[in-house]
Amino acid sequence: MTEPAERSDGAASMAADEFAAWNERMVARYDIERYYERSHRLVRWIENRRIAELVRLAAPHAGERVLEVGCGAGHVLHRFEGTERTGMDLSQTMLARARRRLPKGVRLMQGSADSLPFASASFDIVLCTEVLEHVQDPRRVIAELVRVAGPRGRVVVSIPNEAMIDRVKRVLRRTPIVRKALSTLASEGNEWHLHTMDADMLRRITEGVTNIRSLRAVPNRLLPIRWVVLLGAR
């Protein structure tokens, strides 16, 4: 099986403490609050569509145990009201932002996505959105998500469709008026991404680990900027 191609900046081979420090530098460089709340309305529309699709595929019920791995500032987890929520992130900065956004009853903790500190089958729903491209070993992370969800749990991930995003960027760069209006999307860089993600890459890193039960394009099949995916036993 072909392994995921890695970016050349060296972060993929860093020791755990070095990687955590590098990740904090990326958190400081890219303002997630600005992206979700103050980017162009089209970008925010796409992100709202993505999160809505995540919620639909997760199909949460009141009282279910929900874990978000790579919870960031809590923009996704706050949509799962009525459930028993746990958020985990490598970044203390992100966790502080999530604590400001989420109610006190939400459990937040620091940890690495490739070694989750939970027993198998601990959660009904496990979320991991726009994270796999940032981790050192996405296949190992997938295995951990599936393990803590167990055979009856729902694992929902989302990834950027980078080839499509790059095509959109090229079009925007050739169209000055549009480029100015959509500057957030046009200037979105990849230095934080260790892997080039798309649907084929997702199939490779899940092969032999879990099944892809549903693959949804966001905002639509004609313009699949993001993929939202339900994983688990068929």
Among positive and negative, which fits the CA dihedral 227, 18, 21, 96? Answer: positive
- Which segment of 22-26, 47-51, 99-103, 186-190 scores lowest on mean pLDDT? 186-190
Tens of pLDDT, residue by residue over 36-76, are: 887 778 888 999 999 999 999 999 999 999 999 999 999 99
Judged against a pLDDT cut of 90, whether residue 199 lies above it is answered with yes
Domain boundaries of the chain, sorted by first residue = 11-231
CA neighbours closer than 13 Å in the CB half-sphere of residue 65: 10
Which residues have a Cβ under 8 Å from the Cβ of 56 and sit 6 or more positions away?
A: none
pLDDT tens profile 125-184:
999 999 999 999 999 999 999 999 999 999 999 999 988 887 877 776 676 655 554 555
Mean pLDDT within 5-18: 75
Other CB atoms within 10 A of residue 105 CB: 7
pLDDT of residue 1: 39
**Chain position carrying tokens 């923009």:** 75
Confidence of residue 5 (pLDDT cuts 50, 70, 90): very low
**Which amino acid is present at 114?**
D
Specify the pLDDT at position 106.
Answer: 98
Whole-angstrom Cα distance, residue 212 to residue 206?
8
Element (H, E) at 35: helix 32-38
Distances (CA, A) of 108 to 24, 35, 39, 212: 17, 22, 26, 28
pLDDT bucket at 2, cuts 50 / 70 / 90: very low
pTM, rounded to two decimals: 0.89
Q: Provide the b/e sequence for 43-71 (b: ≥16 CB within 10 Å).
A: beebbebbbebbbebbebeeebbbbbbbb
Give the pLDDT mean for 181-201: 74
Q: Determine the pLDDT at residue 40.
A: 79
37 CB neighbour count, 10 Å cutoff: 12
Q: Which is more confident, 42 or 14?
A: 14
pLDDT at 186: 43
The number of residues making up the chain comes to: 234
CATH architecture of 11-231: 3-Layer(aba) Sandwich (3.40)
Can you give the pLDDT at residue 72?
96
Element (H, E) at 69: strand 65-69
| DSSP code for 82 | T
Q: Which of 127, 150, 106 is nearest to 56 (CA)?
A: 127
Amino acid in position 50: R
Q: What percent of the chain has pLDDT over 70?
A: 88
Q: Calculate mean pLDDT across residues 11-40.
A: 90
- Average pLDDT of the chain, as a whole number: 89
Cβ pair 98, 71 in contact under 8 A? yes
Model confidence at 187, pLDDT cuts 50, 70, 90, reads very low
Question: Can you tell me the mean pLDDT for 212-216?
Answer: 97
